[in-house]
Amino acid sequence: MKRRRGTNGRGESGHGEGEKRRRGESSEENHPANERVSDPTHPRVPASPPPRVGSSRVPVSPRPRVDSFLPSKRLGQNFLVDRRVVERILNALGPQGNETIIEIGPGKGALTDLLVERAGRVIAVEFDRNLGPLLDERLASKDNFKLVQDDALQTELCAEIRPATRARLVANLPYNISTAILQRLIAQRECLSEMVVMLQREVVDRMTAPAGSSERGYLSVLVEAYCEASRLFEVAPSAFKPVPKIWSSVVRLTFRQLADTDEELLWQVVSAGFAQKRKTILNNLRNAPEALQQRIKPRGGASIILCQADIQPARRAETLTIEEWRLLTRLLN
């Protein structure tokens, strides 16, 4: 697995620090750069030796080996090199011989090699256009391996796993766009049953923050609505090369149904509630976007709606439970 741009995991997994990518994540998460350009950190192919006198053939330069592939600073790549951590992730996932596993960001293939040995089928989504072909060549003899050279934010996972209809996923998600990728994966939950993912520790703190915690935000409610989250273990910076400045956490997310809820309206309400976190839920709903105001005003206004939901107007969004958000949504439906 490897952490970097839009499709990541760590390979000798990797995890990323780099310039901020402008996609769906707050500035609190300082992580990998994401635009692929000519990268001086990647190894250059050795120059061919001059031909011998009388020879009509010039030797062809060898392609770089995947195990000598250097992390890209531009992509924020940090390769996971601690075999013990790789084994712990594998054991947490527990791949079976009759199932399909998706790996986002196989990187140098530290986890991928083991997945191919144990899972029925492995679909690896790799963004790096230099690293992908090396992995494909290395695992070309494995008929249960498929490389998808694409951005995880764009990949249609349900289409890629066919003829399978369900799969589990393992990934080291890029920190700076973790909310965007989680939203993307949640949107494809019809074909995903469970995910074991590695994220920046502070991101997992927010993901798992209960109602009333100062860490709770939109991401917390999003994950709680669709997943049962279990924090598994922490990963030290020393597990990677180059060594990042942050700790990571591995978390299990098991999907569950969100029944009897207008989901589009729910996320409009939650988004409005967290628009200005220091303000009360009343003030945020009073200043909600016009589309939501068109539902609030005919029902007597924000204060009346909150009273009907038995929610004190002076409370802040982080104190609301998922059931209270769903109740507000039903009252506005």
- Burial label for 71, CB within 10 Å (0-12, 13-18, 19+), is buried
State which of 31-40, 82-91, 236-245 shows the largest mean pLDDT: 82-91
Q: What's the CA gap between 304 and 297, in Å, rounded?
A: 10
Where a domain ends, among 206, 224, 255?
255
Q: What's the CA gap between 103 and 93, in Å, rounded?
A: 11
Where a domain ends, among 211, 227, 255?
255
As a whole-number percent, the residues of the chain with pLDDT over 70 amount to: 76
- What residue type is 2 in one-letter code? K
Asked if residue 308 and residue 288 are part of one domain, the reply reads yes
pLDDT at 77: 65
Is there a domain that residue 184 lies in?
Answer: yes
Is there a domain that residue 284 lies in?
Answer: yes
Q: Are the C-beta atoms of 114 and 84 separated by less than 8 Å? A: no
Is the backbone peptide bond immediately before 62 cis, with ω within 30 degrees of 0?
A: no
Is there a domain that residue 175 lies in?
Answer: yes
Segment among 25-34, 148-157, 178-187, 298-307 with least mean pLDDT? 25-34
* Confidence band of 38 (pLDDT split at 50, 70, 90): very low
- What residue type is 177 in one-letter code? I
CATH number at residue 204: 3.40.50.150
First-to-last CA distance in the chain?
A: 43
Is there a domain that residue 19 lies in?
Answer: no
Mean pLDDT of the chain: 82
- Residue of 197, 224, 220 whose CA lies nearest to 207: 220
Is there a domain that residue 47 lies in?
Answer: no
Locate tokens 């530290």: which residue?
Answer: 110
**Whether pLDDT at 92 is above 90:** yes
pLDDT at 226: 96
Is there a domain that residue 303 lies in?
Answer: yes
**Whether pLDDT at 117 is above 80:** yes
Asked if residue 313 and residue 194 are part of one domain, the reply reads no
- What's the rounded mean pLDDT across residues 29-42? 36
Per DSSP, the residues of 171-212 read EE--GGGHHHHHHHHHHTGGGEEEEEEEEEHHHHHHHTPPTT
In angstroms, what CA-CA distances link 27 with 6, 21, 184? 16, 10, 20
pLDDT in tens, 124-167: 998 888 888 888 888 989 999 999 999 999 999 999 999 999 99
Asked if residue 217 and residue 291 are part of one domain, the reply reads no
Is there a domain that residue 162 lies in?
Answer: yes
Is there a domain that residue 298 lies in?
Answer: yes
Q: What is the pTM of this model?
A: 0.78
- What's the rounded mean pLDDT across residues 256-266? 94
pLDDT in tens, 318-328: 999 999 999 99
The range of the structural domain enclosing residue 72 comes to: 66-255
Which residue did the predictor score with more confidence, 284 or 1?
A: 284
* Tokens matching residue 168: 């589990």
**Whether pLDDT at 29 is above 80:** no
* Confidence band of 307 (pLDDT split at 50, 70, 90): very high
Which residue did the predictor score with more confidence, 94 or 69?
A: 94
**Whether pLDDT at 20 is above 50:** no
Asked if residue 222 and residue 240 are part of one domain, the reply reads yes
As a whole-number percent, the residues of the chain with pLDDT over 90 amount to: 64
- What's the rounded mean pLDDT across residues 179-208? 94
* Confidence band of 78 (pLDDT split at 50, 70, 90): confident
Which residue did the predictor score with more confidence, 50 or 333?
A: 333
**Whether pLDDT at 31 is above 60:** no
* Tokens matching residue 238: 């020393």
pLDDT at 55: 36
**Whether pLDDT at 22 is above 60:** no
Q: Are the C-beta atoms of 61 and 72 separated by less than 8 Å? A: no
**Whether pLDDT at 34 is above 70:** no
In angstroms, what CA-CA distances link 100 with 24, 93, 95, 171? 29, 12, 8, 14
- What's the rounded mean pLDDT across residues 241-255? 93
- Residue of 144, 95, 143, 146 whose CA lies nearest to 119: 95
Asked if residue 323 and residue 239 are part of one domain, the reply reads no
Asked if residue 292 and residue 168 are part of one domain, the reply reads no
- In 10 A of CB 252, how many CB atoms? 16
Q: What's the CA gap between 183 and 166, in Å, rounded?
A: 18
Asked if residue 289 and residue 249 are part of one domain, the reply reads no
CATH number at residue 322: 1.10.8.100
